[in-house]
Amino acid sequence: MTITYEDASTNANFNGITTGTNLAKGNYSFSLIGHTTYSISVFKVGSGAPNVIGSVGRSNARGVDVNKSPTSPYFGRVYSVNGNAAFS
């Protein structure tokens, strides 16, 4: 998982290269201090090279999760909640 901010910097804990990989099921959080928006990208390793399978950007998301079931046709889909509305 990679979290990228509006200035093109990435979150040190979720940079998708050395951190934010092979994440266990569960909730994760990150700070928005000093940033106004962000995007989250999720990928899986395919035939030797990572492939982006979904990307979503939200400015006021209240919760974010990813479908982690590799047998699901929705594997890798990112879900976020903004107030009372859910997006995928």
| Residues of the chain falling short of pLDDT 50 | 86-88
Q: How far is Cα 33 from Cα 26, in angstroms, rounded to an integer? A: 23
Distant-in-sequence, close-in-space partners of 42: CB < 8 Å, separation ≥ 6: 1, 2, 52, 53, 54, 55, 66, 76, 78
Residue 50 pLDDT:
57
Q: How far is Cα 77 from Cα 19, in angstroms, rounded to an integer? A: 20
> What's the length of the chain?
88
